Structure 1
Amino acid sequence: MFTEVAQNLFVLSEPLSFYGFQIGRKMIVVRLPNGDLFVNSPAELTAERIEALNDLGTVRYVTPSSKLHGHLYMEDYARTFPEVELFAAPDLDRRRTDLAFDGLLGSSPDPRWADVLDQTAFLGHRWLTEIEFFHVPSGTLILGDVCYNLGPEVPLKTQLFARLLGMYGDVSVPLDLRYTMKNEAAGRRSVERILDWDFERVIVGHGRIVERDAKRRVRDAFEWLV
């Protein structure tokens, strides 16, 4: 169910249909040194998933990537895991007034996970501020929607859609995100911060995990900006 892609770093992949296109999605779980679990982009809970999470540790922190990516099931985690704390990405607290958040995510990590996870906000877009994470022990960059990595594993219909949006075949930034940047200087600084991290792997919210030439491929994806 959960694939351990590196020590104490787990990924759950599941189908996701976006306007009829199968793009898939990923949930990321990081086990902290004290056994607490940091969950990013939580997936829907089932009895099997609850059992698997309890086997991994204690679900403690649940985070989305943005106000659009990875927040749909946060309320289920609040009901299921008594010690959980929910964190809001920028503007999510205004969108999800039904949720009681314990903290807001920004460009500095919470001290309780800072030794394991660094983070920064991707700034400069017209309507989306996304929080990017870096798993320090494994050198893994964790992204949401700013980059996709769709290939022949998706249906033909999705392949055609991905080609039209310039996000097929390798790590790539969708054209709609490129064309709706409001402040390219802020975006450039965000990308430079990401590229300062010493990452060797990239987990994107939609698509294949990158296991080789990770930094070069991310740099190439943002060549239009940096």
Structure 2
Amino acid sequence: MLIEWEADRVWYEDMPYHKFGLTHLQRMIVIKLEDEQLVVISPIELNTQKQLELSNLGTLKAIISPTSTYHQYLSDWWLAYSEAYFYATHALIEKRTDLNFDGVLSNNTPELWQGQLLQTSIVSDDHPNKMIFCDPTSRTLFISDNLVAIQPHLPLGQKITTLIQGSKNEIKLPYLERRKFKNKARLRASIQEIMTWPFDRLLSSNGLVIEKNAKDAFYQAFWWAFQ
């Protein structure tokens, strides 16, 4: 069942899944734009109840896959919402050649949500593989599975994986992910852009929740890039 994060604007739902025998969370985000148009980020398993919930909120206009990690249920959404626009990263489009996507996610915001949501990536190559969004209305930053942390509501398996990745209660970018950033100047520019956005809360596709001071927490996850 969808949980309301911001009144008549943002909802989310968490779904457990198993990876290497450990339980993790995947989170779907629903944002209501102008004219009752809905944008879904990181769609989870689709069922009749979910379709009814969405129809009660508005008209589903776009489905966004901000990372190549979560795509298991895209086929069901594509069949159920053939009139919606599907956007994905370059990496996922290359992986899911069985689906027809309407656009590649980049640092250029599609017209559909231009002026309503902000977007960018924090990768250092020419084809962003993980996108970040901001909703000024709810003052919320939406990230994919970029960062990790141990939080009370997360499954034990995800907490164990987070410990292995070198993080505890503070959100961090895993060390192995850090090594992928060769161009620190470009990374710093991305972080500096995000830090200008109007947000103080955070939701992530891998289940993280920060209800206040999210901008400070986000910066601390990338402090090493400024050394």
**Is 117-126 or 209-218 further displaced after alignment?**
117-126
Q: Structure 2: any 5+ residue segments left out of the alignment? A: none
Q: How many residues align?
A: 225
1:108, 1:127 → 2: CA distance? 12
Which runs of at least 4 in structure 1 moved beyond 3 Å after TM superposition?
125-128, 152-158
1:20 maps to 21
Query: TM-score with structure 1 length normalisation?
Result: 0.91
Deviation track 1:59-78 (CA, whole Å, cap 9, x = no partner) reads 11011112x23322222112
> CA offset at residue 21 of structure 1?
2.4
- Asked if the contact 1:144–1:205 (Cα under 8 Å) also holds between the matched residues in 2, the reply is yes
- Asked if the contact 2:91–2:127 (Cα under 8 Å) also holds between the matched residues in 1, the reply is no
**Is 76-85 or 126-135 further displaced after alignment?**
126-135
Q: How does 1:31-180 map to 2 (within 5 A)?
A: 31-66=32-67, 68-124=68-124, 129-180=129-180
Mark the CA change 1:149 to 1:126 in structure 2 (over 3 Å): closer, same or farther.
farther
Deviation track 1:115-157 (CA, whole Å, cap 9, x = no partner) reads 2211002221699621110112111100011112332334545
- Asked if the contact 1:38–1:61 (Cα under 8 Å) also holds between the matched residues in 2, the reply is yes
Mark the CA change 1:200 to 1:47 in structure 2 (over 3 Å): closer, same or farther.
same
1:198, 1:168 → 2: CA distance? 27
Mark the CA change 1:2 to 1:185 in structure 2 (over 3 Å): closer, same or farther.
same
Q: Which residue identity is paired with 1:169? A: N
- Asked if the contact 1:126–1:182 (Cα under 8 Å) also holds between the matched residues in 2, the reply is no
Mark the CA change 1:74 to 1:43 in structure 2 (over 3 Å): closer, same or farther.
same
**Is 165-174 or 134-143 further displaced after alignment?**
165-174
**CA RMSD of superposed structures (Å):** 1.9
Q: Which residue identity is paired with 1:135? A: D
Q: Structure 1: any 5+ residue segments left out of the alignment? A: none
> CA offset at residue 211 of structure 1?
0.5
Identity of aligned residues (%): 28
**Is 205-214 or 175-184 further displaced after alignment?**
175-184
1:204, 1:91 → 2: CA distance? 19
1:216, 1:157 → 2: CA distance? 27
Deviation track 1:134-188 (CA, whole Å, cap 9, x = no partner) reads 1121111000111123323345454333122123212221222112323222222
**Is 210-219 or 115-124 further displaced after alignment?**
115-124
- Asked if the contact 2:28–2:42 (Cα under 8 Å) also holds between the matched residues in 1, the reply is yes
Query: TM-score with structure 2 length normalisation?
Result: 0.91
Q: How does 1:204-219 map to 2 (within 5 A)?
A: 204-219=204-219
Q: Which residue identity is paired with 1:202? A: L
Q: Which residue identity is paired with 2:38? A: L
- Asked if the contact 1:146–1:173 (Cα under 8 Å) also holds between the matched residues in 2, the reply is yes
